[in-house]
Structures are given as structure tokens and as C-alpha cells.
Amino acid sequence: MSEPGKAENERQLAAELDAAGGRADVAAAHQSFLPLNRRHGAACTRWQLNTHRDERVDAAVLRELRAISHELDRVCARLTGVLGRFGVHGPRYPAALQKVFDGDHAWLDAPDRPSCHLVWISLHEDLLASLGIERGTDDLPPD
């Protein structure tokens, strides 16, 4: 997407959010998302570094991702209560995660399908664009 197109899209998302009167709720959901984002990133890194050499590490990562998924459900429900378009994210993550649990490990982070990682990125990008937050700045410590 071009920079002007991205800017226009973000303007439209902000206008939609303001018209719904849900900016505070979406901002609060974003704050709830941030610790999950850190945990998700750490779990995915452990998964990738392990390369399935140690089944105990894989099992621990999957338990952590299952817990994160349950917490993400609450965040997505809150977001969907404000804007229905956020509803696409909630069911996609646990569906992809179930495929990982079923043994198809590519569903965790493969770029060629709606993997856990890509679903996560999609939700995060939707939050950032809706709130007008520049990518890479939402989890920085305060000055």
C-alpha cells in the first residue's frame, strides 16, 4: 500500500472508531494486548530456537500459547464489542493453534497460510492503524 493510501486508510479507521465512541475501549484493549504480545513473541522465539529438538520445550511453548490464546479471546471480545470488524481475528488464532497442536507445526509461523503468527500480526496492525499508533512504538518504555 502506498503511503498516501495507508494514511487515508488510517484516517478512515480513526473516523470509524470515533463515530462508534469506542476509542477508550480500544485503547484499553490495546494495553491488555501488549503484555500478550511480549509473551507471544517470546514463546515463538523459543519454538523457533528449539527446532523441535526437545519435546519438553515444545510442550511448554504450546501450553503458553494456549494460555495466551484464552487471554486473547477476552481482548478480541472487547474489541468486537466496539467494532464488529475486529471479530475476524478472534476465531482465527485458536483455529491455527489447534492445527499446531494436531502436529502441523507450520501453522505456528508459516508465511503461506493464516498461521498463528500472521493472525497475530494482522490483529496488531489493525489495532495500531485504528489507534493511529506508529508501528514499533507501541511497546516502548515511557520517556
The pLDDT tens digits of the residues spanning 11-24 come to 898 899 999 999 99
CA 11 distance to own-chain centroid: 21
pLDDT of 28 strictly over 70 = yes
CA 122 distance to own-chain centroid: 6
Q: Give the pLDDT score at 6.
A: 81
Instruction: Average the pLDDT over 41-55 and give the result.
Output: 92
Per the structure block, which three cell numbers stand in for 89? 481475528
**Among 124, 135, 38, CA closest to 79:** 124
- Across the chain, mean pLDDT equals 92
pLDDT of 141 strictly over 60 = no
pLDDT tens-digit series, residues 94-126? 999 999 999 999 999 999 999 999 999 999 999
Instruction: Average the pLDDT over 127-135 and give the result.
Output: 89
pLDDT of 142 strictly over 70 = no
Burial call 55-82: b when 16+ CB within 10 Å, e when fewer: eeebeebbebbeebbeebeebbebbbeb
pLDDT of 143 strictly over 80 = no
Cell 489493525 identifies what position? 126
